[in-house]
Chain A
């Protein structure tokens, strides 16, 4: 997994609640058997018009979002289907962090497994970030945020700084880019003991 320590990037903002994973990566792209190459399909049905050209009304296609790597969103982001293709598509497109008031549970875990940091902030702080994003966009500019996973802070260069909470184990995995299967395999003896205590025959591997 790609490690994450600090990241400064351009913000893209999608101002709607309950963005589900069917929108993040529509089902017609779930037939692929690879983990890679999903960025081109990110938000496909919103991003492209029926003739295949970019939809100018969609936030990611507008100038403030060009080159964005941090996604600002509303509550319950990533709800619905468990498809890990959603964070694969976000990561492949170039996103390293998503900021929202709340995330769906499965999506949250899937992000962490793919080196994307899901950052929960209070709704009022997210409102403030949308204001700052919109103010920068209104002047034809782009809005930047800085994420520091060591300090667990998100900040901009105009005085906004907030701490965010993240499970210490997940944080460590992200900071070091750890393979959590290898970590779990350090506990094979405990797993085998559990199986024996529950009357299971010895495991195959």
Chain B
């Protein structure tokens, strides 16, 4: 008898359940575990105290990214507490036999950039990391999600996690992507409609013509921000784009054709049933700019900051009022009239080579406005090298941008790259929470092209009308 049609999530889930002991949660096997310096030291210490080792060190890959300087790497790390955290990661990797991509390695970078880039991330895998943006890897049809430090310790010791099966949510984006609109605009638009908790308890599968038409790196941008809609994971079925992207990468399977034959069986079966379906039209999406302090507080470049009294829900109304107070904005202000002090291009959302190409093409022949300080932080050593080979670093520098070393940088401001109080920033990162980029700092989330255009004009501008030189 043929089995019932299954979703992509069902197939990966079923393949990875080790057992479901009576009265307990299922044990899910974890294929790849990515580790960074901020959420791992307490997990390694826990192993040490209990006398435990790593079950499968070769499934674990580590890199420092959250708390690393993006200036000259030959200089010592100035902050002694940051240095201790990075030294601790080095010592733990040595002691427990974990492969580390250290600061002097061209393979160092943001965990969610280097995983796909090195071919560590593959379709059909389960992947975890002590970071909520692990959803990124779902762009390659992996079930990938963020976990806490106790769970990091559990995976290190057992290569499994206790998990209840999440529900499935199909987010279908129909139609083709309008000119001048990017993956970042799509995902910000979706979060605005789904709300910051619309995906709680679910894994999103992004489907539809618009999603299929995206390149691999744009798909990563979409999946990356699933967590901002509350979903721990977002995924996209594998296809020729996926297989072409992974071919020849360092950690890709040796017998690649056999792997592709396996991966081709992963897409959701015709007739597979999702727990929930939400349908959107790509034609409705214009370049997006957030105006508030969560990523769902977002609107189009052609719109204005909303008036808090316009919200029907009392929670939404008080959130909007509080957000506008923090952001120093008045309801009714046109988005294009918001002036900027800083521009940040980087983060696990938008620091890959396609992102840098998109920003550089806007900047070519232009200068950053005198009132703006701008920086680019490539997602990895390899992205930086590639950009330099293409001459993108010159475009950025000639426009007046700082050109930095790879890391998370001003996405979360753990390192010295931060906003000062009240500084207003156009940022390609993923969170506009209060204080995220520096205490009192004001973050507006946008695409790389929108950030680059705003850097030139000193305020937001509709990149669909940009005069490319």
Contacts and interface: CB of A to CB of B under 8 A. Distances in A.
Contacts of A180: 154, 162
Contacts, number: 184
Given A32-B81, A76-B197, A106 B147 contact: yes
A184 B88 contact: no
A109 B158 contact: no
| Chain B binding surface, main DSSP class | loop
Counting chain B CB atoms within 10 Å of each CB, which of A27, A83, A170 scores highest?
Answer: A27
B226 to A, nearest CB: 11
B153 A181 contact: yes
Interface in A153-193: 167-170, 172, 179-181, 183-188, 190-191
B150 interface: yes
Contact of A23 (B42, B81, B154, B435): B435
A6 interface: no
Interface in B24-69: 24-25, 27, 29, 38-39, 41-42, 45, 50, 52-58, 66-67
A82 B131 contact: yes
Contacts of A97: none
B428 interface: no
Given A20-B433, A172-B23, A45 B439 contact: yes
Interface residues of A, number: 58
A105 interface: yes
A105 B41 CA distance: 23
A54 interface: no
Contacts of B414: 27-28, 30-31
Given A32-B81, A181-B154, A191-B29, A204 B42 contact: no
Interface of A: 16-18, 20, 22-23, 26-28, 30-35, 45, 74-76, 79-84, 87, 102-106, 109-110, 113-114, 167-170, 172, 179-181, 183-188, 190-191, 194-195, 198, 200, 203-205
Interface of B: 18-19, 21, 23-25, 27, 29, 38-39, 41-42, 45, 50, 52-58, 66-67, 79, 81-82, 84-85, 88, 97, 130-132, 146-151, 153-154, 157-160, 162, 164, 166, 196-197, 200-201, 227, 230, 232, 294, 315-316, 318-319, 322, 412-414, 431, 433-436, 439
7 contacts: A75-B315, A104-B200, A110-B150, A185-B157, A187-B18, A204-B53, A205-B53
Given A33-B85, A45-B439, A83-B39, 17 more contacts: A23-B434, A27-B413, A32-B85, A33-B41, A74-B315, A80-B132, A81-B131, A82-B130, A82-B148, A84-B148, A106-B147, A113-B148, A184-B160, A187-B27, A188-B158, A191-B160, A205-B54
